[in-house]
Amino acid sequence: MNKHRVITTFILLTLTMAIHESSVRSQEVINIPIVFHVMETTGSSNQSDVNVVSTYKLYEQIHIINKAFNGGFKSDKTDQIKHEFDFHSDYTLKFHIAGCKFGGRNGVVSKVSQFTDCQIQNLTDPSLGGSLPWDIDSFINVYIVDLENCGLSGFSTTCPNANSDSSIIVVDYRYIGNNDIIGFTKGFTLIHELGHYLGLKHPWGADFSNCSEDDDVEDTPYQSNAYYGCPSFPQYSCNSMDYYFTFMDYVDDICMEFFTPDQFHRMIETITNKYPNLLNGPSDCNLDYSRYSFCESINIYPNPNIYEYLSIDFLIEPISADEIFLTNTIGEEITFEITFINDNKARISLMNLAKGMYFISFKGRCTKSFFNY
């Protein structure tokens, strides 16, 4: 039997009662902390480009996620079907980097990993260079890694049919934030995987099934197959219009627009029933970049440093090479080579730098120290 494509008053009342019975209060803002594990992969085919995800890019991704989970990116297609949906919700999901302390990189873990054969344990096993997930009951762990050899842009170990004891999300670093990957430029890959993590299936269900299975969400019609690229509107299968424009299909980012109300409610129910500790997350996280001072907005890592380069992130304003000075403990200025990855990230070569403590200053307004091994 085909599902109703119009949300009835009965369904809305039933969902609202279920969520209230699950202890989520009306008008409540649910703060969800994300831990980003930025994994530099040894033996990568793109070794010169790996681990170039700046803290600025991570905050940009958080902003994109929050937009998607609180109204989405509506267009003319939404206007044509808006009579079917009430996009108002009494609940708000607000994602943030765990800790929200930029200077200390709380909630951002940088590691060198042996993730070369697409095995999850290589990401999460510290003995293999992996990063142990933070408590999965209280945090969402997102691993950013080079997935080119895996043929994937991202995946969630909690999506249907995934086999893993650890609930994590993995995304290729090229797909984080606004990027230059054709078809996926808007940073929606992580949104899609968050949907899986929070209990959503693809519109066609667990497998392509010619209309015999679906996603168990009331307001999304049955759909026979996935859509790719950017199809013209509307599209039909299974005797109904397909909602290929939700975040849970495979279309290009520019054609993804929103979660339906029932998809959103399903995610709230998943949080309530599977990850109840997420309901008690901190509420004092402000992603307004202007609250950071100039010096707080600059991050140097790893520190202490054991590699041949030092990475620098600039969150608030870009800095040119002639505004950066490196000195030793007796004040002697040291020449260095610097490579700018983008306007918000640079790397300083430390190949010929002796072991010891050093100071790096920016625009004469901020000085930070690091130890080089």
Active site residues: 193
Residue 15, CA distances (Å) to 22, 83, 280 in order: 11, 19, 22
Who contacts 47 (Cβ-Cβ below 8 Å, separation ≥6)? none
Counting Cβ atoms within 10 Å, is residue 345 exposed (0-12), middle (13-18) or buried (19+)?
A: buried
What is the spatial distance between Cα 299 and Cα 314, in angstroms, rounded to a whole number?
7
Beta carbons of 133 and 140 less than 8 angstroms apart: no
d(CA 332, CA 364): 16
Structure tokens at 120: 């999850």
Q: Could you give the angle at which helices 189-197 and 55-68 cross, rounded to 10 degrees? A: 60
Position of tokens 């990189």?
105
Handedness of CA 57, 59, 64, 68 (dihedral sign): positive
User: Residue 289 and residue 267: Cα distance in Å, rounded?
Assistant: 28
